[in-house]
Chains A and B, each alone.
Chain A
């Protein structure tokens, strides 16, 4: 596995990616604090486009040949990867005109732990209730699709294999999951936004989140 990773084998990189991608997303969404600085480097929240760009950036850096070669396989890979993620977030803050710190070394030692896992607020409560109700009412087979793909984070190939179906069938089931949720949100009449929520604005106001 380690040799495959260092050689840039897709299977090894894919495995590492799936183990860590959610934690990286979480860090990039939440941001982090600089110890003793009183400075918080903001995350991108749950704006999917920004988050996707940054996640891609983190793994491009982490999987570059130079970065792969410089990982010795002895240390835990998580902190190494999260340091890259923090640097990406700082670069983004700087690109938007926010000066954070000038020294890379200083940054590496100045990190406070991330915000706790149970803190994220990802949508309006009304939207969350609809989503939860929709998921709770799913038939068993669709619930399993949701569990494997959206909770366990398996790839399409892995999930299809577990379900004993082909990838095309899985894609059809995922389409049905999304369409069902869209219909459930459309049917709900009381979704007027009460505060700024990017998730809700996508649907109710239109325009870019």
Chain B
């Protein structure tokens, strides 16, 4: 049984083999949305300046009180105290809206901090219905390398396309040491993933 060509395939033919104009525009939109999501809001940047100044002043006041080697006398004996480790975290953001009211056609940005591995993600309709896959080995399973909070490689955007219905979805995300197929992911014990997250979005009419 044959199926009609998709717009992307027709675009590719019209361009004699490239991605096609429409898909290229879509990619740029997603990339720009992701870059924008990584920029701290203006208010945070403005606040950062005096905060930095205060932190620097506090440091100047504290430094003379530290021991000559710069270590607290109350530190754990033996090896040097390790810096605090931030647990992996995932942020779900609906650009231009909120996860509780995310109109069809919006871009949802998934940002992972403090973890390195392959991202898988999908959405389950809370009221039952067909599961929607965003990332898995069958499609693409991007490699996140965001062990520092500022790295862009820890952020991916997905479009809330027509495959979504209006209603609440539970978004599941996993980071694993290798790309994983959908069946594997659905049966993966929590301990086998480098990180697991669950969040929710409510898709609304545009």
Contact = CB atoms under 8 A, between A and B. Distances in A.
Interface of A: 8, 10, 13-14, 17-18, 21-22, 25, 29, 46, 48-53, 55-57, 59-61, 63-67, 91, 95-96, 120, 122-123, 127-128, 131, 135, 146, 149-151, 153, 155-156, 174, 177-178, 181-182, 185, 199, 202-207, 209
Contacts of B141: 95
A52 B23 contact: yes
Contacts of A135: 14
B105 interface: no
Nearest to B118: A95
A181 B20 CA distance: 14
* Chain B CB within 10 A, most for which of A57, A60, A95, A199: A60
A204 B27 contact: no
A153 B24 contact: yes
A64 B32 contact: no
Contacts of A8: 35-36, 39
Interface in B110-142: 118, 139-142
A56 B30 contact: yes
30 contacts: A10-B35, A18-B28, A21-B27, A46-B12, A48-B9, A49-B8, A49-B139, A52-B19, A52-B26, A52-B27, A53-B140, A56-B27, A57-B142, A59-B27, A59-B31, A65-B152, A66-B150, A67-B152, A96-B179, A122-B16, A128-B16, A131-B16, A150-B11, A151-B15, A156-B21, A174-B22, A185-B5, A199-B13, A204-B2, A206-B2
Contacts of A96: 179
A178 B10 contact: yes
B4 interface: yes
